[in-house]
Amino acid sequence: MKVLHIVTQNCGGAGLAAFRLHLGLKSIGIKSKMLLLQYGLWDNDIIELKRKRDIFTRLHDKIYNKLISFEFNVYKASRPQGLEVFTDDRSVYNASKHPLVKNTDIINLHWISTMINHRHFFSDVRNRPLVWTLHDMNPFTGGCHCAGNCIKYTTGCGACPQLGSKDTNDLSRRIFKRKEKAYKGLYVRLVTPSKWLADCAQKSLLFRNYKIDVIPNGLPTSIFQKRDKKFSRGLLDLPEDKILILFGGNRITENKGLKYLIQALNLLRNRSYYSALGLVISGYCTDFIPKDIGIPVYNLGLIQEPRLLSCCYSAVDMLLIPSLQENFPNVILESFACGIPVVGFDSGGIPEMVRPGETGLLARVENVEELSEKVDWMINHSEERQQMGLNARRVVEREYSLEIEVKRYIKLYEHALQA
C-alpha cells in the first residue's frame, strides 16, 4: 500500500501529528511519503512542493496572491486583535498535478491551508481514494481555524465576527460557498482526533452528510517516556529545588489563554510556597510574560528533538494548558507519556484526554479562580500529583500509542480502497 500525506508543513501541532503517523506507517513497511510546502523535520520520504520559477509563473503568482491579500486586507481595520489565523481556500499551488498524487493508492490530507486550491484539487482527485484528517475547524468554515463561540459554519458563514464584519456576503461567505461547490459530490473519509471536533464537523453545513471517524493522535511511547528528573533539570539548566510549571506556545493568541495562566499565578502570590515556584516556557512566548510575575521564568526556546523534548516534560511537575478551544493537543499527549499530569480548561477535546482526578484537573472555561485552585491543589498534593502522572502514562500506552493509531489508519485506508 502506498500512502501520500499532503500537509502544509510537518512542524506545529497538525504537521507534527501527520509526520508521526507517516513515520509509524513506514515502521511497519507501508510505503508512506509526505508532500509539503516547507519542512521543519526531515525524512528521506519528504518531498517539497515547488513552483516553476520562470518569469511568467512568478508574475502570475504575484498577481494572484495580491488579489487574495487584497480581499482579506479589506477587514484589516475591523478584525479583532489576538485571533488565530484566517485562511483562504485558494492557492497558487497545483498539488493535484504532482506525480506523487497520481502514483499513490491513498491520499491523506491533513492541514492544507495555503497549499491547496480547493476548486482545482478536489476536481482533479474526485475519483481517487481520499482521507482527510481534520486538525482544526478550517475545512468546514469560511476561513477561521478556531470558531470560538460562533456557529455560523452550521448555516453558511457570513457577517463573520473574526473579520469584524456585518456583511452577510463578506469574504467568509464567499470562501464558504466556494468550498461548498468544491466538495459537492466528493467522496472522502473524514477523520478527527477528538470527538469534540467530530461533533463540530457533523453539525457543519459542509460535512453534516459525511461519515466521520475519530482516531486520536498517537506518539512513540519508547521515545516519549519518563526520564530522571534530576538528570533532566541538570541537562536543561533548571533548578532542582523549585516546583516547576510548564507552559508551551509558539504562537500567542487569545485562544492559547496565556493571560489566564498569568492571572491564575497572581492569585497564588499570597501562598507560602509561591517563591518556590518556577515557570518553564517552551516556545516563543517569553516576551508576553510580565516582568513582575514574582517567580523566575525559564525559557527553553523551541525544542523539536523528541528525546530532548521528553526531558523537558520530565523536568517539570505539571503542564498548564489554559487554552479556550483546542482539538487534541500534542503537548498533553507528550506530557502524559512522560508521566506528567495536566491542569487546563474543560473545553474542546481537552476533557477527552484530561480525566479529573485520574490524569489531571480541569477548571471551567475562563474561570481563573478555579484554574488557580486546581494548580494550588496540585502543588499541595505531591503524592496524588505523581500518581496522576503514572496514570497518565498508562492511558497513553493503552489508548494513544503510535502503534494503535497506525492500526486504525490502515483499517480506514483499506475501507477507502474498497469503496
Contact 35, 101 (CB under 8 A): yes
Q: Span 298-324, mean pLDDT?
A: 95
Query: What cell does 256 get?
Result: 492559547
Neighbours of 411 (CB within 10 A): 12
- Which top CATH class is 2-218+402-418? alpha beta
Residues 112, 257, 336: CA angle, nearest 5 degrees: 75
CATH 3.40.30.10 fits 229-399, yes or no: no
DSSP secondary-structure letter at 299? E
* Percent of the chain at pLDDT exceeding 90: 90
DSSP 51-76: ---SHHHHHHHHHHHHHHHHHHHTTT
| Domain coordinates in residue numbering, the chain | 2-218+402-418, 229-399
Contact 355, 349 (CB under 8 A): no
| Whole-number pLDDT of residue 24 | 98
Q: Span 157-184, mean pLDDT?
A: 98
Decide: residue 70, CB within 10 A, 0-12 exposed, 13-18 middle, 19+ buried.
Answer: exposed
Rg (CA), the chain: 22
pLDDT range class, residue 250, cuts 50, 70, 90: low
What pTM, to 2 d.p., does this model score? 0.95
pLDDT range class, residue 94, cuts 50, 70, 90: confident
Spatial neighbors of 211 by CB under 8 A, at least 6 apart, are 189, 190
| Whole-number pLDDT of residue 16 | 94
Whether the predicted pLDDT of 251 surpasses 70 = no
How many angstroms separate the CA atoms of 50 and 39, rounded? 12
Contact 173, 205 (CB under 8 A): no
Q: Which of 153, 217, 211 is nearest to 14 (CA)?
A: 217
Average pLDDT, the chain: 95
Topology match between the domains 2-218+402-418 and 229-399:
yes
DSSP 320-340: EE--SS-SS-HHHHHHHHTT-
Bridging pattern class, strands 130-133 and 106-109: parallel
**Least confident range of 9-13, 248-252, 256-260, 264-268:** 248-252
Bridging pattern class, strands 277-283 and 2-6: unpaired
How many angstroms separate the CA atoms of 151 and 22, rounded? 33
The residue with cell 453545513 is 205
How many angstroms separate the CA atoms of 321 and 412, rounded? 31
**Least confident range of 144-148, 227-231, 256-260, 287-291:** 287-291
Return phi, psi of residue 244, to 5°: -105, 130
pLDDT range class, residue 21, cuts 50, 70, 90: very high
pLDDT range class, residue 38, cuts 50, 70, 90: confident
How many angstroms separate the CA atoms of 245 and 379, rounded? 10
